[in-house]
Chains A and B, each alone.
Chain A
Amino acid sequence: MTKIDAQGLYYRDLNQKIREAVAAGTTEIVLDNVNGQYFIGDGINRPVTIAINGVPGNDLAAFMNGATIVVNDNAQDNIGNTMNAGKVIVHGHAGDVLGYGMRGGRVHIRKDVGYRVGIHMKSYESNKPVLIAGGKAGDFFGEYMAGGVLILLDMFSDEPEKPKHGFRFGTGMHGGTIFVRGGVDETKLSREVGVFELTDEDRLELEGYLKEYCNDFGIDYTEVAKEEFVKVLPRSRRPYGNLYCPMPR
């Protein structure tokens, strides 16, 4: 195990130390006193585990390919930007634009998430990204989503009076699935999506994701399963197919 004290370290120096530790063959790294340093875990392509004590900065796990990051506090924006594989666990809340273009792996957030979460998420063959938020979500949840799974629980929030999710839910969505515990506010859905009941297959798939999530946070799965989930899907895989007309010949 490698321990790094991030107190007062510039992000570039901190990430250099992490890269050096990974290159040296460490499988477990603990970062103490992290205070907003950007790009932690960026581009790491080995199955190391990085535990973060403190609040990491933006672009945590960007372009990451196979590592695991556990944040024992809150986290900020852009987690899992274009992440290929691996896992991020955040024990607090997280910010905007999570899982941008994410193509594989898991992002588990215990509490609330911000705007545009799950934007451009894609799945491809065996790669199927899953992002679970235990609290509430901001506007544009699942924007341009093309694949993968987004799950919103509305169970653990710092701001219980806030609505479960914001407006323009699923705008531009043309692939993938969003599961929401306890239903969605249909007045806030975008035109491109519809609400559906879960099939038995869905339930089985969802149970797998949720059990892993519960396991990460020490949550009782039966509590999560107490409420029904709904499924939000795009109405079309070609939302903008009829927008254009060719130039006349």
Chain B
Amino acid sequence: MLYKSVTESFNEFIIDRNDATCIRCKVCVRQCAYEVHAYEATADALTEDNTLCIGCRRCSALCPTGAITIRSNEEVFKRNESWSNAHIRNLYAQADTGGILLAAMGNPAKYPIYWDHMLLDASQVTNPSIDPLREPMELRTYLGKKPHSIEVVRDEQTGKPKLATKLTPQIKMEYPFIFSAMSYGALNLNAHKAMAMAAKELGTLYNTGEGGLHRDLYQYGSNVMVQVASGRFGVSEAYLNAGVAIEIKVGQGAKPGIGGHLPGEKVNDQISETRMIPAGADAISPAPHHDIYSIEDLRQLIFALKEATNYTKPVSVKIAAVHHVAAIASGVARAGADIITIDGFRGGTGAAPQVIRDNVGIPMELALAAVDARLRDEGIRNQVSIVVGGGVRSSGDAIKAIALGADAINMGTSTLLALGCTLCQRCYTGKCPWGITTNTPYLAKRLNPELGAERLVNLVHAWGHEMKEILGGMGLNALESLRGNRYKLRALGLTEKDMNILGVMPAGE
């Protein structure tokens, strides 16, 4: 039996320090949020406690002489295809504590990734491709309910045609990307500033998440989607009217059926002010909205929000991708939502039980295809825009999502990566060494909002360029022409059933 904790006995990482190149500058000591490194003055030596290392690579990245290498601990348990090292270590930790294993970020488990089994089309000979560098190419996206039909009349005064149909509110975005809902509290203000500034620069949206909108960010209102979750943190009439859209958070891909819980330690003065709760108080947001037990109840909340904002904002309903997602989405559309946001099982989180994160939900690719097909079959696809998130890693994944029927893509993990995240999956400790998911001022200042915004803008510009190249190659000059156009996708190495659900033909056919 172990008399030390699993971490002390079977640590995951080893720190290699090259003593010859180490200049004793102690950057590693100052930078490590987990106090792994220490300086022994008497010996003029730097030492490390490997058992504390979480593998974030902050020290190795900032070591001026490259003296530090983080590697995984090669010492392993006897090989066992059933009981992996991770299973054994997790079990030990639970035997130590009796606790629910807490994890963060998206599902890292080895499940099929459908993006990697779909290929895009391109034009050859019979239909010309388009060069996006020299010809107009449009990625502009409008989110909101579209009418079943439109009526155009001649304007008596100008003699020009004019739209007679009254449209419900639409959000115009220059790119089909939204900086996904990650609450203020889970992320700090610097991260939120970066997202807000980038959204403004790009002409797209930033979603507040469920922690309210900091007063300094109200100025970005025309690029903000405000979120309302079961805990109602920071939700007021002013907040609802601050952005251009409202999202009701029902579910999250990383933890379907599980709510949010921001520990009191993370609720500092500013977060307390924005969430409108006392500093140090737990912010509990359970999975059920206890005023929503049915589609009719959901309709009631949707219209309570529309009434509060005088029908000027589209309302999105965010759900996790789960087994009956198509039927649920149909209900959501019929409940009066303008946008349905579907979060796949690879979507990230600041904290979730590991067993939920790794075992609950379905891939976004399948959920998206099923929802788009179902809404088309029912003749109500125009009533909602579909936003998807959870596992889009590149412009290639994004454009495949568009072809499967998405109107826009939520960028969550990719946003954090652009801000410097190294996916160490310890967001819930509040000690993010990269200054993103921490509210400790010493750590949070590591994230410069201006530089962060620039990196986010760069990323979306890059993905936008790539998407234009792909579109041009297919002979299309607007993203709108690709939406739900599954003919432009072919499957490789998928079963017949998978292909049926995806609505995609096999490569070669």
A142 to chain B, nearest CB (A): 12
Across the interface, which residues of B come within 8 angstroms of A84, CB to CB? 236-237
Q: From known contacts A39-B304, A78-B291, A243-B99, infer whether A146 and B284 are also in contact, taking CB-CB under 8 Å.
A: yes
- Mask for B83-96, Cβ within 8 A of A = 1, else 0? 00000011011101
Kindly report which residue of chain B lies nearest to residue A244, judged by CB atoms.
Answer: B102
* B278 CB contact (under 8 Å) in A12, A62, A77, A123: A123
Across the interface, which residues of A come within 8 angstroms of B90, CB to CB? 247-248
Stretch from B3-11, B124-132, B405-413 contacting the other chain: B3-11
Q: Does B492 contact A (CB under 8 A)?
A: no
* A120 CB contact (under 8 Å) in B13, B231, B282: B231
Tell me the residues in window 4-25 of chain A with beta carbons closer than 8 Å to chain B beta carbons: 12, 15, 19
Interface contact B54-A245, CB-CB below 8 Å: no
- Mask for B249-266, Cβ within 8 A of A = 1, else 0? 000000000000101100
Across the interface, which residues of A come within 8 angstroms of B100, CB to CB? 243-245
B341 to chain A, nearest CB (A): 21
Interface contact B261-A240, CB-CB below 8 Å: yes
Interface contact A120-B230, CB-CB below 8 Å: yes
Tell me the residues in window 46-90 of chain B with beta carbons closer than 8 Å to chain A beta carbons: 51-54, 89-90
Interface contact A122-B276, CB-CB below 8 Å: yes
Interface contact A240-B308, CB-CB below 8 Å: no
Q: A43 vs B290: C-alpha distance in the bound complex, in angstroms? A: 20
Identify which of A58, A119, A242, A246 gathers the most chain B CB atoms within 10 Å of its CB: A246
Interface contact B304-A249, CB-CB below 8 Å: no
Across the interface, which residues of A come within 8 angstroms of B10, CB to CB? 248
Interface contact A124-B300, CB-CB below 8 Å: no
Residues of A in contact, count (CB < 8 Å): 50
Residues of B in contact, count (CB < 8 Å): 60
Q: A103 vs B232: C-alpha distance in the bound complex, in angstroms? A: 10
Across the interface, which residues of A come within 8 angstroms of B264, CB to CB? 237-238
Q: A64 vs B11: C-alpha distance in the bound complex, in angstroms? A: 53
Q: Does B310 contact A (CB under 8 A)?
A: yes
Across the interface, which residues of B come within 8 angstroms of A45, CB to CB? 237-238
Interface contact A248-B12, CB-CB below 8 Å: yes
Interface contact A101-B7, CB-CB below 8 Å: no
Q: A101 vs B289: C-alpha distance in the bound complex, in angstroms? A: 11
Q: A79 vs B264: C-alpha distance in the bound complex, in angstroms? A: 29
* A43 CB contact (under 8 Å) in B54, B99, B240: B240
Q: A28 vs B51: C-alpha distance in the bound complex, in angstroms? A: 68
Interface contact A248-B303, CB-CB below 8 Å: no
B41 to chain A, nearest CB (A): 27
Q: Does B281 contact A (CB under 8 A)?
A: yes
Interface contact A38-B101, CB-CB below 8 Å: no
Kindly report which residue of chain A lies nearest to residue B308, judged by CB atoms.
Answer: A43
Tell me the residues in window 55-71 of chain A with beta carbons closer than 8 Å to chain B beta carbons: 58-59, 62-65
Q: Does B333 contact A (CB under 8 A)?
A: no
Q: A119 vs B230: C-alpha distance in the bound complex, in angstroms? A: 10
Q: From known contacts A43-B237, A248-B6, infer whether A103 and B276 are also in contact, taking CB-CB under 8 Å.
A: yes
Interface contact A246-B281, CB-CB below 8 Å: no
- Mask for B300-314, Cβ within 8 A of A = 1, else 0? 100111011110000
Identify which of B11, B54, B282, B429 gathers the most chain A CB atoms within 10 Å of its CB: B282
Q: Does B158 contact A (CB under 8 A)?
A: no
Interface contact A249-B230, CB-CB below 8 Å: no
Interface contact A249-B300, CB-CB below 8 Å: no
Interface contact A19-B310, CB-CB below 8 Å: yes
Q: From known contacts A84-B236, A146-B281, infer whether A62 and B102 are also in contact, taking CB-CB under 8 Å.
A: no
A235 to chain B, nearest CB (A): 14
Across the interface, which residues of B come within 8 angstroms of A64, CB to CB? 237
Interface contact B277-A97, CB-CB below 8 Å: no
Kindly report which residue of chain A lies nearest to residue B93, judged by CB atoms.
Answer: A248
Interface contact B307-A15, CB-CB below 8 Å: yes
Across the interface, which residues of B come within 8 angstroms of A103, CB to CB? 236, 276
Q: A148 vs B277: C-alpha distance in the bound complex, in angstroms? A: 11
Across the interface, which residues of A come within 8 angstroms of B240, CB to CB? 43, 63
Interface contact B290-A116, CB-CB below 8 Å: yes
Across the interface, which residues of A come within 8 angstroms of B103, CB to CB? 247
Q: Does B149 contact A (CB under 8 A)?
A: no
Tell me the residues in window 74-132 of chain A with beta carbons closer than 8 Å to chain B beta carbons: 77-78, 81-82, 84, 97, 100-101, 103, 116, 119-120, 122-124, 127
Seed contacts A65-B238, A120-B230; 17 additional CB < 8 Å A-B pairs = A38-B300, A42-B304, A43-B237, A45-B237, A65-B236, A100-B232, A119-B290, A122-B276, A124-B272, A124-B276, A146-B284, A238-B264, A246-B429, A248-B6, A248-B7, A248-B92, A249-B13
What are 14 A-to-B residue pairs whose CB atoms are below 8 Å? Answer: A39-B307, A42-B308, A43-B310, A62-B304, A62-B307, A62-B308, A63-B308, A97-B291, A127-B276, A144-B231, A243-B100, A246-B429, A247-B102, A249-B53
